[in-house]
Amino acid sequence: MATFTRFETFDVRFPTSRELDGSDAMNPDPDYSAAYLVIGTDADDGLTGHGFAFTIGRGNDVQVAAIDALAGHVLGRDVEQALGDMGATWKSFIDDSQLRWLGPEKGVMHMAISAVVNALWDLKAKRAGLPLWDLLGRMSPEELVALVDFRYLTDALTPTQALELLRAAEPGRAQRRQELLDGGFPAYTTTPGWLGYSDDKLVRLAEQAVAEGFGQIKLKVGADVHDDVRRMRLARAAVGPDVRIAVDANQRWDVAPAVEWITALAPYDPWWVEEPTSPDDVLGHAAIRRAVAPVKIATGEHVQNRIVFKQLLQAGSLDVLQIDAARVAGVNENVAILLLAAKFGVPVCPHAGGVGLCELVQHLSMFDFVAVAGSRKDRVVEYVDHLHEHFVDPVRLEGGNYLPPTAPGSSAEIRPESLQHHLFPAGAAWSGVPSARSAAGGLEELVDEQVAG
Amino acid sequence: MATFTRFETFDVRFPTSRELDGSDAMNPDPDYSAAYLVIGTDADDGLTGHGFAFTIGRGNDVQVAAIDALAGHVLGRDVEQALGDMGATWKSFIDDSQLRWLGPEKGVMHMAISAVVNALWDLKAKRAGLPLWDLLGRMSPEELVALVDFRYLTDALTPTQALELLRAAEPGRAQRRQELLDGGFPAYTTTPGWLGYSDDKLVRLAEQAVAEGFGQIKLKVGADVHDDVRRMRLARAAVGPDVRIAVDANQRWDVAPAVEWITALAPYDPWWVEEPTSPDDVLGHAAIRRAVAPVKIATGEHVQNRIVFKQLLQAGSLDVLQIDAARVAGVNENVAILLLAAKFGVPVCPHAGGVGLCELVQHLSMFDFVAVAGSRKDRVVEYVDHLHEHFVDPVRLEGGNYLPPTAPGSSAEIRPESLQHHLFPAGAAWSGVPSARSAAGGLEELVDEQVAG
């Protein structure tokens, strides 16, 4: 019998704001960061599980503290038992009534549960000798349903309905698994579209994306409507009429301004408009969608949990549902969300980028294709060409498609030397950097310098 | 010119789980806690501002870390400028784009902002020599509107509409202020109704509440429907037909079970049913309310921010809106929520209890009466007879009414000796207590002992 003996957290930050990579209307200067967790056991196999919550700099220490608050729920626990019933294990984190008060099921504490749950799945997949997508794709409908907490979902999806969905998709699994191994899963790229980039850089990167085989790109919008119309026009000219261009407002608008802005961009045929308003605003999204149809509305990277996703689907708020691998409470809750999306017939196109989010979320889309939705039509996983070199099993793109990972695990493991180099504030990546960078105060000046420089 | 020179946090926990005070269907063993903040300046007046986030035990350290993450936004700042434009000051916390990622505007990070914002208001009121309710009640409609961030609200409430509301209530302010000083503000008591109490204790405390002048009591429900029907019947017999009995399910139900359970309780005339389901479930609350009308639906203590409150009002999800003083981002956001409630004509009946929540939230209801809603009809502030002795300016109840505080400030200040005594884990209140109490693991046994004992 093995028990968990290691629960170690790391405050890892990448100084991405130096190049304005990842800049958008809401997040002008992110330092992509991970509140990173390694769990280990006293088993002879020496395997470790890796998970993380993604943040954009300041507050990553708070996120680490939240993960640490869960250590007592893991250390000393029986490994086979915990990994053997991941539904019960998931609930043991969610049902800590004292910690629940800090959410419930949202924000820092929920993302902390995500890190722990995903680290357990990483370990479980490594022990099975399978990549996570394939581990999930081999589980029976009954086993998958047992992963899901249906609390607060049963007015939209019952366990019985979920089981029916999964059983209906079962006969095609083997064939789709083979299609995936042969052709991969479609990606789209956000690399050309960051708000901090010049027009020239935008056009150059958009053309490059098409040359690389991407069928969809994405532009950040929302700071200035005239700039956005110009950038959209330039991008459309660069990629031609057949490549899809999604735009992403990162929550900048209220309902009425969203409708005006989207109407201004509509002549350039945006494929979807992402995060037009607050991720909390189910009814606001629904109102915007009604007003701008047939332009598609997408959201989800900041949606806090399955309960809000349920309502977005019930209210007809979206055309495209965007899961994030590490904001809701990990694999289990994302399985619930994939099932909800399938029930409502809405395609899932995950958010990714940041650090490690592409590595992690590709597994969920591939599982969705194999065992839940059963289709790649209009499904794409976001791709951003940042920071993959820091991962042990980085994503592999070919002709605009993610190739399925073959290494056991969830691909979330950061290389040991990268981890050490980017520890905050002691790592070499942060030496000589003004401490103001990821601390409050003095920040505006630094950003101004960069924008000017 | 004064600047902020002190930003000191404390992990304060009260071992309330020893007596099962505060036990309900979702929170069987809370240790009422405060992530407590004291801010100070280099001004000659020596005044300090006090604020806190309320938690129920484990994770209070995470909450403290989140408040600490905001220190750089306060220390060194000009005091007159910060307190003189509290609207801009509020936005400076909310608009930290890196910290925003941790929510946005929800959970641990948002409650941390609450503590800081409320500490600033405490200081501002002390400097003005006024209790908070009176300071707010003397501000002009223009000044009040300037406190509010209307982002994501304008589809339901614009600044112009808010101004009209406040101006309409202006003529009656002086008279209502006097009525408040003369008669106080109605309270209701949750003291009889905790789930861990025996039937005898319930009946005795219910009779005592009526004798003390309360016109409304509240029972916790949601663990077992047969128990709840019996307890409701006993309580109704004890208080007679004219005293209102609210029931509180603390989020235990999905939509269909909520409807069944409420239907079973309906013969005993519940005044409202509180938190029937997830606080995130706007549409679920609306469905339940439609099904059980005319039984009233109440919620809000766990509602994360003004955006969700807006939707609860838009969707017709509630009859009673329950603000909490320290879950949304402090006074400013609660002013926004009071304005929304007034716009939709829904009475505000705050959640209180815990530690310090009665002290703090009474100010907001009194301000609501004086300057926003302009009425006490069907408005009551929750009262729980716990832990008031630890406050410098504790609530005063008379004949079932809160008497308006007269001391300058927000009444949030904990007595220094109480603070020291309850520091976790070093304070005397925690010496000799098994460390398992507020740490994960071993907890069930302790609770079992207590329930048995």
% of chain B surpassing 90 pLDDT: 90
Interface residue of B280, B303, B314 to substitute, partner A, most A CBs within 10 Å = B280
pLDDT of residue A207: 97
pLDDT of residue A436: 39
pLDDT of residue A445: 35
Query: A181 vs chain B: nearest CA distance in angstroms?
Result: 35
Instruction: Using DSSP, state whether B69 is helix, strand or coil.
Output: coil
Q: Is B281's CB within 8 Å of A101's CB?
A: no
In this prediction, residues A23-39 reach a mean pLDDT of 89
Q: Is B377 a catalytic residue?
A: no
Kindly report, residue by residue over B54-78, the tens digit of the pLDDT: 999 999 999 999 999 999 999 999 9
Q: Which of B110, B296, B351, B363 is catalytic?
A: B351
Closest chain A residue to the Cα of B76, Cα to Cα: A441
Kindly report, residue by residue over A49-101, the tens digit of the pLDDT: 999 999 999 999 999 999 999 999 999 999 999 999 999 999 999 999 999 99
Q: Is A59's CB within 8 Å of B111's CB?
A: no
pTM for the structure as a whole? 0.95
Q: Which of B61, B98, B256 sits opposite A59 (nearest CB)?
A: B98
Q: Is B69's CB within 8 Å of A59's CB?
A: yes
Q: Is A62's CB within 8 Å of B97's CB?
A: no
Q: Is A98's CB within 8 Å of B30's CB?
A: yes
Q: Is B97's CB within 8 Å of A30's CB?
A: yes
Cis peptide before A416 (omega within 30 of 0): no
Q: Is B31's CB within 8 Å of A65's CB?
A: no
pLDDT of residue B21: 66
Cα radius of gyration rounded to whole Å, chain A: 21
What confidence category does residue B444 fall into, taking pLDDT thresholds of 50, 70 and 90? very low
Kindly report, residue by residue over A130-187, the tens digit of the pLDDT: 999 999 999 999 999 999 999 999 999 999 999 999 999 999 999 999 999 999 999 9
Closest chain B residue to the Cα of A109, Cα to Cα: B108
pLDDT of residue B450: 33
Query: B80 vs chain A: nearest CA distance in angstroms?
Result: 18
pLDDT of residue A442: 35
Q: Which of A66, A71, A441 sits opposite B62 (nearest CB)?
A: A66
Closest chain A residue to the Cα of B288, Cα to Cα: A155
Distances (CA, A) of B385 to B21, B34, B192, B301: 10, 17, 10, 18
In this prediction, residues A210-226 reach a mean pLDDT of 96
Kindly report, residue by residue over B236-269, the tens digit of the pLDDT: 999 999 999 999 999 999 999 999 999 999 999 9
Separation between Cα atoms, residue B453 and residue B451, nearest integer Å: 5
Query: A279 vs chain B: nearest CA distance in angstroms?
Result: 8
Q: Is A251's CB within 8 Å of B56's CB?
A: no
Q: Which of B26, B29, B107 sits opposite A106 (nearest CB)?
A: B107
The residue whose two tokens read 């035990």 is: B57
What confidence category does residue B20 fall into, taking pLDDT thresholds of 50, 70 and 90? low
Q: Is A308's CB within 8 Å of B104's CB?
A: no
What confidence category does residue B452 fall into, taking pLDDT thresholds of 50, 70 and 90? very low
Separation between Cα atoms, residue A94 and residue A103, nearest integer Å: 10
Closest chain A residue to the Cα of B68, Cα to Cα: A62
Burial B388-420 (b: 16+ CB within 10 A, else e): bebbebbbebeebbbbbbeebbbbbbbeeebbe
Query: A95 vs chain B: nearest CA distance in angstroms?
Result: 9
- Helix %, strand %, coil % for chain B, to 5? 45, 15, 40
User: Which of A167-171, A242-246, A341-345, B445-449 is predicted with the least confidence, judged by mean pLDDT?
Assistant: B445-449
Residue A109: list chain B partners with CB under 8 A: 59, 62, 107-108
Q: Is B76's CB within 8 Å of A441's CB?
A: yes
**Side-chain-facing half-sphere of A151: CA atoms under 13 Å:** 17
Separation between Cα atoms, residue B218 and residue B216, nearest integer Å: 7
Separation between Cα atoms, residue B89 and residue B79, nearest integer Å: 11
Instruction: Tell me, rounded to whole angstroms, the distance of Cα A382 from its chain centroid.
Output: 9
Separation between Cα atoms, residue A211 and residue A190, nearest integer Å: 15
Task: Give the DSSP H or E segment for B161.
Answer: helix B159-169
Q: Is B282's CB within 8 Å of A278's CB?
A: no
**Residue partners of A25: CB distance under 8 A and separation at least 6:** A195, A220, A221, A222, A223, A249, A250, A252
Q: Which of B103, B311, B314 sits opposite A107 (nearest CB)?
A: B103
How many degrees, rounded to 5, is the angle at CA B175 between CA B169 and CA B178? 130
Kindly report, residue by residue over A327-341, the tens digit of the pLDDT: 999 999 999 999 999
Q: Is A218 a catalytic residue?
A: no
Q: Which of B30, B61, B107 sits opposite A108 (nearest CB)?
A: B107
Closest chain B residue to the Cα of A441, Cα to Cα: B72
Q: Which of B110, B220, B386, B388 is catalytic?
A: B220
pLDDT of residue A433: 60
Domains, in order of start, for chain A = 4-157 (3.30.390.10), 164-402 (3.20.20.120)
Residue A305: list chain B partners with CB under 8 A: 280
Please report which residue ranges of B282-379 form alpha helices under DSSP H.
Answer: 282-292, 306-314, 330-344, 357-367
Separation between Cα atoms, residue B101 and residue A302, nearest integer Å: 8
Q: What is the distance in angstroms between the CA of the first residue and the CA of the last residue of chain A?
A: 59
pLDDT at residue B447 tops 70? no
Separation between Cα atoms, residue A298 and residue A379, nearest integer Å: 12
Average pLDDT, chain B: 94
Residue A97: list chain B partners with CB under 8 A: 26-30, 56
pLDDT at residue A283 tops 50? yes
Q: Is B108's CB within 8 Å of A108's CB?
A: yes
Q: Is A438's CB within 8 Å of B98's CB?
A: yes
Residue B304: list chain A partners with CB under 8 A: 106-107, 280
Between A and B, how many CB-CB pairs are < 8 A?
212
pLDDT of residue B126: 98
Kindly report, residue by residue over A430-446, the tens digit of the pLDDT: 987 654 344 443 333 33
In this prediction, residues B425-447 reach a mean pLDDT of 59
pLDDT of residue A373: 98
Query: B420 vs chain A: nearest CA distance in angstroms?
Result: 22
In this prediction, residues A106-113 reach a mean pLDDT of 98
Report whether B213 contacts B400 (CB < 8 A): yes
Instruction: Using DSSP, state whether B278 is helix, strand or coil.
Output: coil
Kindly report, residue by residue over B161-215, the tens digit of the pLDDT: 999 999 999 999 999 999 999 999 999 999 888 888 899 999 999 999 999 999 9
Residue A69: list chain B partners with CB under 8 A: 58-59, 61-62
Q: Which of B26, B106, B151 sits opposite A254 (nearest CB)?
A: B151
Instruction: Using DSSP, state whether B147 is helix, strand or coil.
Output: coil
Separation between Cα atoms, residue B121 and residue B131, nearest integer Å: 10
Q: Which of B100, B280, B282 sits opposite A305 (nearest CB)?
A: B280
